[in-house]
A and B are shown apart, each in its own frame.
Chain A
Amino acid sequence: MGIFKNITEISRMKSPWLLHFDCGSCNGCDIEVLACLTPVYDVERFGIIHVGNPKHADLLLVTGTVNHRNKKVLVNLHQQMPEPKIVVAIGACGLSGGIFREAYNVVGGVDQVIPVHVYVPGCPPKPEAIIDGVVLALKEFEAKNEKYGQGARGKRREANKEQEKS
């Protein structure tokens, strides 16, 4: 089954579809994210498509401060994405809440609400930095592949193995 696993892994690395969610940022990071899609950077070279739909997405790009109002939306979007999925937090606000950190309505970083795999700092980060973060995130798929790559049958086999051990 090694060859199938390899093909799956390569396909996952080569076709990350991303969903961009703005938790109320100043739009600086959003403009930089969208800049990646322009002919100058052309991320479709790497098979990246900007889908507006969590059910099709593999990567979740989150910008802006998470507050008590939109954290439910963020969790909902994250839950609607099928596994394997990766979250990338972008910008100072996404990482920690930025200058709004002390505000009464702000929860803080994205990682307070959902698990984050890659952090891209900056205010706003350059498009190059965002692409770099996404490429770094793709490496996470390798780790995820161990967990989800084999499907239900593989999971069952692993569960059986663990039972035998204990």
Chain B
Amino acid sequence: MIYKTALLIGALITAPFLGGLLMGLDRILTARLQSRIGPPLLQPFYDLIKLLRKEKMVVNVWQAFCVNCYVAAASISVGLFILGSDLLLILFIQAVGAIFLVVGALTSTSPYSQVGAHRELLQILSYEPLLILAIIGIYLETGSFKIEAVLDWEQPLLMRLPFLFLVTGYALLVKLRKSPVDLSTSHHAHQELVKGLTTDYSGPYLALIELGHWYEVVLFLGFCSLFWATSWIGMLIVALGLFLAEILVDNTTARLTWRWMLGSTWGLGLTLSLINLIWLFLRR
């Protein structure tokens, strides 16, 4: 019990640090790919502290409420993940947080915020089915939805779920809002959208959104690392490799329309997942 509590508190404290460092790495690598020098590694932390200490300004009280719910859901899902809980439960709690973020943006009347919120809903609609199918694949292989069961499995899941791993990588791209699917908001503001989802958030509330995003990055990279859960080094290589691949894709592609996003995630993603699932089912 004490061990588990310590693990939980440790994870809740280290996850944002890890997420912030990953974001810093992202910004440096992006700058280098554009032949710039880029900001220091700790830049995301400077941004976060600065935002936290700015004046509090809200459009309405529901914004503040929704942001707090988002951060709470993101951190709870990270906590459940480190305790080796049920994968479906984690995914649903995370989804509740994602919906709160959308609701918060919808409470403001700004058209940028509204368009961003609608696009974020489409993004959620794109990646959630893929992740659920990936979890079903893990269930078909290990016979359990529990992370503990995945960690106990003798053989890397990647061998049996290669297509599902690809699809999860794609879902991660949508979740991290990287180009070509950075539709709802992104770190590089686009003219027609300004900042989309986060347009009407400012100061400490924007900082909380950033914090929640760091939790989610760690959670999703953790989920991807389960595909090589037989060794710690394997988990690290899979997670970091996937993250670097996402940065590369982000910098080499242009943004596409939401129709393309829905078409590719549902068309290609669902087909690949189903092929993998049917193959798994026949092998049993």
Using an 8 Å CB-CB cutoff, how does the interface string of A35-52 with B read, 1 for contact, 0 for none?
A: 000010010111101111
**A151 in contact (CB, < 8 A):** yes
Q: Please, which residues of chain A bring their CB within 8 A of the CB of B198?
A: 56
Task: Give me 9 other A-B pairs in contact (C-beta within 8 A), A47-B39, A82-B55, A151-B53 excluded.
Answer: A8-B50, A11-B49, A14-B43, A39-B36, A45-B36, A47-B40, A51-B189, A53-B194, A83-B54
User: Contacts of B251 on A, CB cut-off 8 Å?
Assistant: none
Q: Of the candidates A47, A148, A149, which one forms a contact with B47 in the assembled complex, judged by CB atoms under 8 Å apart?
A: A47
CB neighbours of A15 from chain B (8 A): 43, 46-47, 50
A5-35 vs B, CB cutoff 8 Å, 1 = contact: the mask equals 0011011101100000000000000000000
Listed in ascending order, the chain B residues whose CB lies under 8 Å from chain A are: 27, 31, 34-40, 43, 45-50, 53-57, 187, 189, 191, 194-195, 198-203, 206
- Minimum distance in angstroms from B183 CB to a CB of chain A: 16
Report if A139 contacts B (CB, 8 A): no
B112 CB to closest chain A CB (Å) equals 8
Whether A84 sits at the interface, judged by CB under 8 Å, is yes
The contact string, 1 if C-beta is below 8 Å from chain B, for chain A 44-69, is: 11110111110110100000000000
A46 to B47 CA separation, bound complex (whole angstroms): 11
Q: How many residues of A contact B (CB 8 A)?
A: 27
CB-nearest residue of chain B relative to A57?
A: B202
The residue that B189 contacts in the complex, of A10, A46, A53, with Cβ under 8 A, is: A53
Mostly, the B contact residues are: loop
- With a cutoff of 8 Å between Cβ atoms, the chain B residues found around residue A83 in the complex are 54-55
What are 29 contact pairs spanning A and B, CB under 8 A?
Answer: A8-B50, A8-B53, A11-B47, A14-B43, A15-B43, A15-B47, A15-B50, A39-B35, A42-B31, A42-B36, A44-B39, A45-B36, A45-B37, A47-B39, A47-B43, A49-B187, A52-B189, A52-B191, A53-B194, A55-B199, A55-B202, A55-B206, A56-B198, A56-B202, A58-B50, A58-B54, A83-B54, A84-B54, A149-B53
Q: A11-B50, A47-B46, A84-B54 are in contact. Are A55 and B39 (CB under 8 A)?
A: no
B residues near A10, Cβ cutoff 8 Å: 46
- Bound Cα distance A151, B54 (Å): 8
Counting from the closest, the 5 A-B pairs by CB-CB distance are A55-B202, A11-B49, A82-B55, A83-B55, A15-B46
Q: Are B39's CB and A11's CB within 8 A?
A: no
Chain B neighbourhood of A52, CB < 8 A = 189, 191, 194-195
* Beta-carbon contacts under 8 Å, A121-166 to B: 148-149, 151
Judge whether B34 and A82 touch: CB under 8 Å. Answer: no
Residues in B with CB closer than 8 Å to A149 are 53
Asked if A44 and B36 sit within 8 Å, CB to CB, the answer is yes
Which chain B residues border A53 with CB–CB below 8 Å?
189, 194-195, 199
Q: What chain A residues lie within 8 Å of B49 (beta carbons)?
A: 7-8, 11
Closest CB of chain A to B206's CB: distance in Å? Answer: 7
